C-alpha cells in the first residue's frame, strides 16, 4: 500500500491538497480555479476523473473557489458538513444534487478504503474541520485555519505520519504590517489563524505521536515568508531536541504551485508459513 501526499496550493490565496492511499484519490479543499487544479493534477500524471472525492474544510473562498466549475465539469463528489454546505450553496447553488454528500463533524466515514475523521477546529466559519485520514497502517492529516492550539484537535491529529499544519503568520509581522486593525484582530484571534510559534508547538507534540513529515502551510503572503516560517519552526524543533530533516522532514508548502510530494509505503504483510511440525 502506498500513500501519496502533495499540497497543490497552500496559502491565503487558495488551498488544495492531493492525498491518495492505493487507488483511492482525494482532494482536500479546492480553493484554486478548476483550471489550476486540472493542471496540478496533470503534473502528478492524473486527470480529474481519477479522483474519488473532494473533502471541504470550510466555506471560505480560499478553500472552495474551484469546486463549482470543477464538479459541474468533471462530476466529482463533494463532501462537507451541513454548516459548510450552507456556506457553499449561499455562494452558488449550481452544484448537481448527485455530487453533494454531507457528513457530521466528529463522525468518521469511508471513501473507498480510506477512513476519514473530520474534526472540529477553532476558526471563524460555520462548522470548520480538519481531516484525519487512515488506511491500514498509513495516516495523514490536514489541519489549517486554526485559531489556537487545543488538546482536542492535537489529540485527533496525533498519530498521523504526514501532516499539513498551518504556519500562517509571524505575530510581529502582523502587528507591524499594513493590514487594518480589524483584520489584524481577526488573524490573531482565537478563531483566526495559527502563528509560526504555535505551529512549532503543535509539531513538537505531534512528534511524540509519530509524525514523520510535516508541511508548513496556509502561509500569509503579507505576514510571513517561507524562510521565516521554516527557520522559526525548525529552530523551535531543535531547541526541543528534535533534528529537522533527520528525525522529522519539514517542508514549506508552496503558495501557488505544487509542492514536493511525500510518499510512504507499508511493507507487504509477511506471509506466514503454516506450521507443519505437528
Kindly list the residues in this chain that would bind Zn ion in the complex (CB under 5 A). Answer: 60, 62, 145
User: How far apart are alpha carbons 238 and 240 in whole angstroms?
Assistant: 5
Q: Please count the other Cβ atoms lying within 10 Å of the Cβ belonging to residue 197.
A: 16
Pairing of strands 213-217, 249-252: parallel
> Which one, 134 or 218, has the nearer CB to Zn ion?
218
Q: At its nearest, how many Å lie between Zn ion and the CB of residue 197?
A: 19
**DSSP letters along 215-261, please?**
EEE---SSS--HHHHHHHHHHHHHHTT--BTTTBEEEEPPSSSPPPP
| Structure-block grid coordinates of residue 76 | 466529482
Nearer to Zn ion, 48 or 130 (CB): 130
Which residue is at the shortest CB distance from Zn ion? Answer: 60
Q: Nearest approach, Cβ of 269 to Zn ion (angstroms)?
A: 39
Least Cβ distance, residue 145 to Zn ion (angstroms):
4
Residue pair 34/70 in contact (Cβ under 8 Å)? The answer is: yes
Q: Which is nearer to Zn ion, 183 or 249 (CB)?
A: 183
Specify the residue, 64 or 111, whose C-beta has the smaller distance to Zn ion.
64
CB of 265 to Zn ion, least distance (A): 31
Cell of 107: 463522525
Amino acid at each position: 500500500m502506498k500513500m501519496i501526499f502533495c499540497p497543490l496550493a497552500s496559502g491565503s490565496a487558495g488551498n488544495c491538497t492531493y492525498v491518495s492511499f492505493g487507488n483511492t484519490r482525494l482532494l482536500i479543499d479546492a480553493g484554486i480555479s478548476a483550471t489550476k487544479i486540472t493542471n496540478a493534477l496533470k503534473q502528478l500524471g492524473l486527470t480529474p476523473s481519477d479522483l474519488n472525492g473532494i473533502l471541504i474544510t470550510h466555506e471560505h473562498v480560499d478553500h472552495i473557489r474551484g469546486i463549482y466549475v470543477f464538479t459541474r465539469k468533471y462530476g466529482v463528489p463533494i463532501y462537507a458538513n451541513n454548516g459548510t454546505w450552507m456556506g457553499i450553496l449561499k455562494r452558488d447553488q449550481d452544484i448537481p444534487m448527485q455530487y453533494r454528500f454531507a457528513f457530521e463533524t466528529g463522525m468518521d466515514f469511508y471513501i473507498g478504503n480510506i477512513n476519514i475523521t473530520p474534526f472540529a477546529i477553532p476558526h471563524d466559519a460555520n462548522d470548520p474541520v480538519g481531516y484525519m485520514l487512515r488506511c491500514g497502517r498509513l495516516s495523514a492529516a490536514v489541519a489549517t485555519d486554526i485559531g489556537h492550539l487545543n488538546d482536542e484537535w492535537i489529540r485527533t491529529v496525533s498519530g498521523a505520519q504526514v501532516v499539513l499544519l498551518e504556519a500562517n503568520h509571524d505575530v510581529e509581522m502582523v502587528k507591524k504590517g499594513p493590514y487594518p486593525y480589524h483584520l489584524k484582530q481577526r488573524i490573531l484571534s482565537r478563531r483566526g489563524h495559527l502563528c509560526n510559534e504555535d505551529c512549532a508547538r503543535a509539531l513538537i507534540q505531534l512528534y511524540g505521536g509519530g509524525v514523520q513529515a510535516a508541511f508548513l502551510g496556509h502561509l500569509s503572503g503579507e505576514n510571513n515568508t517561507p524562510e521565516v516560517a521554516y527557520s522559526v519552526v525548525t529552530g523551535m524543533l531543535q531547541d526541543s531536541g528534535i533534528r529537522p530533516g533527520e528525525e522529522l522532514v519539514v517542508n514549506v508548502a508552496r503558495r501557488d504551485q505544487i509542492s514536493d510530494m511525500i510518499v510512504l509505503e507499508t511493507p507487504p504483510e509477511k506471509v506466514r508459513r503454516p506450521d507443519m511440525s505437528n
